[in-house]
Amino acid sequence: MNRRLAVALVSCMAVVGPLVPAASAATDDAWVHQIGTYDYLVSPNYAGLAPINSTSKGTTLGLGTFNNLDGEFVMVGGTMYRIGTDGTPVVIDGSQSTPWSESVRFAPTASGPVPPGTTCANIITAVNALVGSANGMVAVRVRGTFTDLTFRSVPAQTAPYLPLSQVVAKQTLFPLGQRRAVLVGFRTGPDLAGTGAAGLHLHGVAADRKAGGHVISCIAGADVQLSVQRTAGVAIQGAASPTSQHD
């Protein structure tokens, strides 16, 4: 059965799509709670729109960045981390401003093993197979032992902002080799283009919490497990969003 997705604009309490009122979307555990949009970020605009904790209450999995693109944001098991250009995860309280972040109360609807040797770039195939669709917003958790695991972070920017592609060209890479880690993020379908990063976007932390960042590469070992959650939609605060689509 097809399930319609809606995007609620929390900042103006309006709804793009008739599924539910915005107020309900903002409290529904199945919704992704988001500040800004990926389109806003790549416009480019890295100025913070709201504190991360203004939408993250009750959520347990998430990612994003900080005001002026000052580090990578990752939430694992409800704990929030900032990873700067030193590559070290630091626990934060969420009061930091963000131009773009996504979080959800993670309740997996399907899980399965990732075949050993699968690269991070190919995990999206397993995600789509588990949810049975390439559309919508899907929360993703991948955990286990990886080889060729590489994270990254980028330095803080100042206005006028360079395009994101030029900022990423100056990224700091953290090659970890073989390491146990948990990777979290979202798979954004074409029907929600511009809301999140297209395709599968993952941030992560090492199991010992001594390294982390945006995931650049990885290869799954024998014990890697994938868990996914098909979400109801995206509730957005702080910036306009694209019109919602449905399967």
> pLDDT per residue over 177-198, tens digit each?
999 999 999 999 999 999 999 9
Distance CA 64, CA 191 (A): 20
Residue 66: phi, psi to the nearest 5? -125, 170
Residue 48 has pLDDT above 60, yes or no: yes
Question: What percentage of the chain carries pLDDT values higher than 70?
Answer: 85
Residue 206 forms beta bridges with which residues? 181
Burial label for 1, CB within 10 Å (0-12, 13-18, 19+), is exposed
Residue 199 has pLDDT above 60, yes or no: yes
pLDDT at 28: 56
Q: What is the pLDDT of residues 103-116, one digit of tens each?
A: 999 999 999 999 99
DSSP 95: -
Which of 201, 211, 196 has its CA nearest to residue 242?
A: 196
Q: For strand 137-153 and strand 233-237, is the pairing parallel, antiparallel, or unpaired?
A: unpaired
Question: Average pLDDT, whole number, for the chain?
Answer: 88
Domains, the chain, ranges and CATH? Answer: 6-237 (3.30.1330.80)
Residue 117 has pLDDT above 60, yes or no: yes
With b for 16 or more beta-carbon neighbours within 10 A and e for fewer, the 38-54 pattern comes to bbbbeebbbebbbbbbb
Q: Which residue has the higher pLDDT, 78 or 11?
A: 78
Q: Sorting pLDDT into bands at 50, 70 and 90, what band is 19?
A: very low
Distance CA 11, CA 162 (A): 27
Q: Which two tokens stand for residue 47?
A: 């100025």
Q: Sorting pLDDT into bands at 50, 70 and 90, what band is 239?
A: low
**75 with 60: CB under 8 angstroms?**
yes
pLDDT at 22: 39
Q: Sorting pLDDT into bands at 50, 70 and 90, what band is 17?
A: very low
User: Scanning the structure block, which residue is given the tokens 């954004």?
Assistant: 188
pLDDT at 29: 78
H-assigned helices in the chain: 22-25, 38-41, 123-131, 164-168
Q: Sorting pLDDT into bands at 50, 70 and 90, what band is 13?
A: very low
DSSP of 29-47, one letter per residue?
A: TTEEEEES-HHHHTTT---
